[in-house]
Amino acid sequence: ESTPFYHIINRCVRRAYLCGEDNLTGKSYEHRRCWIVDKVKALSAIFCIDVCAYAVMNNHYHLVLKIDTNKAKSLSNREVISRWCKVTKGHDVATKYMNRETLIEGERLLLDGLLAEWNERLSSISWFMRCLNEEIARRANREDGCKGAFWEGRFKSQALLDEQALLACMMYVDLNPIRAGITNTLQASDYTSIQERINQLNTPNKDTKAHHEPESKPEPELTSSERHKPLAQFDGATHLATQSGIPFHFSDYLQLIDWTGRAIRSDKKGFIDSSRPKLLDELGISSNAWVTSAKEFRRQYSGISGRWDAMCDFKKQHHCGQWCKGKASSDALHPSP
């Protein structure tokens, strides 16, 4: 009820290069990054959760997710069962209902409870992440012929309470490869949502993929038999509480991320172009504060990002303690009029 937007981070066990190129052994796990992107897209089509941004790195990944509460409320009973049975085996009572068989009173009561539970789970980021991480871990362990943990622990999340927090976080996620020095351009930022969006701009009439396909043929369980949901759309600068997608124009976002990427390039330390992007002027954010946010967003806050008073209220409302991290960073992104 506080916000539909969340930033998710998950790391491989021991932060090893289990999703990329291991320079020590020379073994490549690069194809596993494709697994993660494909599974995220497939689960997004099942759950009432949209993907705003993603970046899959060598040993961790970032997601910016939006819970579509309106979609969850509009699902029919049959849609709830159909969606949930794509990630679990469901229940015999649900199967009888789908086959239009007559249910006795006890079965109807059981079905009502299951429907309420499954509907809630279909808009739960915790269940979304559970389905994602368990599948990738099992597949990687099967490929390696081993057992044990693949992820270092439960995912970490940050609640994004307003437009500034959402914009800063998406920028932080999309610029991960540039900030890490892996590449200098957005077009070459493999396994990121910004590369996928740019590719779609360049080939609007084709079903393009954001990432490079691995040389080996992907297993059909993750790619061929599951429908992939497109990324959440930019639907203009409407207010966060009333819009249905990302509350910015994509042209403005693209201008801002191009400007920010040039500012944080490792070969141009301290460089800031004199021409400020439109979004920074509209939000009143200083250039230096924005570049700092693009570099350090994850470390600037703990589990919440937004206007300072909203962060404090969130902590009290959800009984997360009284202390908040990131007042100076929040004030920089939310300057007083």
Q: Please check whether residue 179 is in contact with residue 57, taking contact to mean a CB–CB distance below 8 angstroms.
A: no
Domain(s) labelled CATH 3.30.70.1290 in the chain stretch across 5-70+124-333
pLDDT at 266: 55
User: Would the pLDDT of 310 be above 60?
Assistant: yes
User: Would the pLDDT of 274 be above 80?
Assistant: no
235: burial class by Cβ within 10 Å (0-12, 13-18, 19+)? Answer: middle
| Alpha helices (runs of H) in the chain, residue ranges in sequence order | 31-46, 69-74, 77-84, 92-98, 105-121, 125-144, 163-174, 176-179, 193-202, 250-263, 278-283, 287-300, 308-317, 327-333
Q: Hunting for tokens 């599951």 — which residue is that?
A: 226
Q: How confident is the model at residue 218 (pLDDT cuts 50, 70, 90)?
A: very low
From CA 117, how far away is CA 134, in angstroms rounded? 20
Q: How confident is the model at residue 262 (pLDDT cuts 50, 70, 90)?
A: confident
From CA 211, how far away is CA 122, in angstroms rounded? 27
Burial code (b: 16+ CB inside 10 Å, e: under 16) for 105-126 equals: eebeebbeebbeebbebbbbbe
Q: Which residue has the higher pLDDT, 187 or 268?
A: 187
| CATH top-level class of 5-70+124-333 | alpha beta
Q: How confident is the model at residue 201 (pLDDT cuts 50, 70, 90)?
A: confident
pLDDT at 246: 92
Q: Where is average pLDDT lowest: 10-19, 60-69, 291-300, 313-322?
A: 313-322
Q: Where is average pLDDT lowest: 32-41, 89-98, 229-238?
A: 229-238
Residue type, 116: A
Nearest to 289 by CA among 168, 177, 178: 168
Q: How confident is the model at residue 178 (pLDDT cuts 50, 70, 90)?
A: very high
pLDDT at 115: 95
Question: Average pLDDT over the chain, rounded to whole?
Answer: 87
Using a cut of 0.85, tell me whether the model's pTM lies above it: yes
226-236 pLDDT, tens digit per residue, is 578 899 999 88
Most confidently predicted of 6-20, 254-268, 318-332: 6-20
User: Would the pLDDT of 70 be above 50?
Assistant: yes
Q: Please check whether residue 37 is in contact with residue 210, taking contact to mean a CB–CB distance below 8 angstroms.
A: yes
User: Would the pLDDT of 80 be above 90?
Assistant: yes
